[in-house]
Amino acid sequence: MDWRNRALCLNIPTNIFFPGTDKQTDKRYWDTHTMCRECPVNVDCLADALNNNYEIGLFCMPERVRRRFKAKPPQNLFITMRETFTTLDIIAAEFNKDGSLLRKRCLRCNRKSKGFPKDFQNWGGRSHICVSCHIAISNNKQADKLLDREKPSKALPEFDSHGQLITKKCTKCWERKEADQFSKRPQGIGGKTSWCKACTRKNLEQWVARQKDVK
């Protein structure tokens, strides 16, 4: 028997596996991805997609994940695939009654929010990085071009197993510092300000000095 005849999606319309081709709720896309996780032939489906260079659509894994597998083929596809599926547990998406996204966990800052850009090449049809982190990454890239600093990927904040911030880089002095060296800011990455306390204090002192000169 052909492996396709044992797939859980055998009698499901194919358009759901091509996010963006029609209007579907966030929950519908998410349920499709979780269904692939439980499918008895998901390894066959993924292997077939990789061997035939399928670039568009969901074949056990989103397009971005498949491209990563294609660029660096895993030694054991089954084990790597199972490990990758744990991303769904980490994201832990929640939905409203109408199927729209309520909140999920950002894989960069580890916070739960509802602000995630649409990305039909990723899990659930949305980016795995929240809007705030996208803005931070963009700002870091601009700073790298101007200051010739290290790549933004090396400037990412560090979190412990409980999701608490350990260290992050100040976007003013570009030094990595402990979490207690940053002031609290609920909207910030890790619940902290982007500038460290020392840079914030120095900037305030310079501003006060300029105001005195003006007077």
Spatial separation of the C-alpha atoms in residues 44 and 60, rounded to whole Å: 9
**Which pLDDT value is given to residue 42?**
87
With beta carbons less than 8 A apart as the criterion, state whether 67 and 46 touch.
Answer: no
Neighbours of 38 (CB within 10 A): 9
Residue ranges of the chain whose pLDDT lies below 50: 143-153
> What is the residue extent of each domain of the chain?
3-104, 156-214
pTM, two decimal places: 0.56
Report pLDDT digits (tens) over 170-188. 888 888 899 999 998 877 7
* pLDDT value of position 60: 83
Greatest extent of the chain over all pairs of C-alpha atoms, in Å: 86
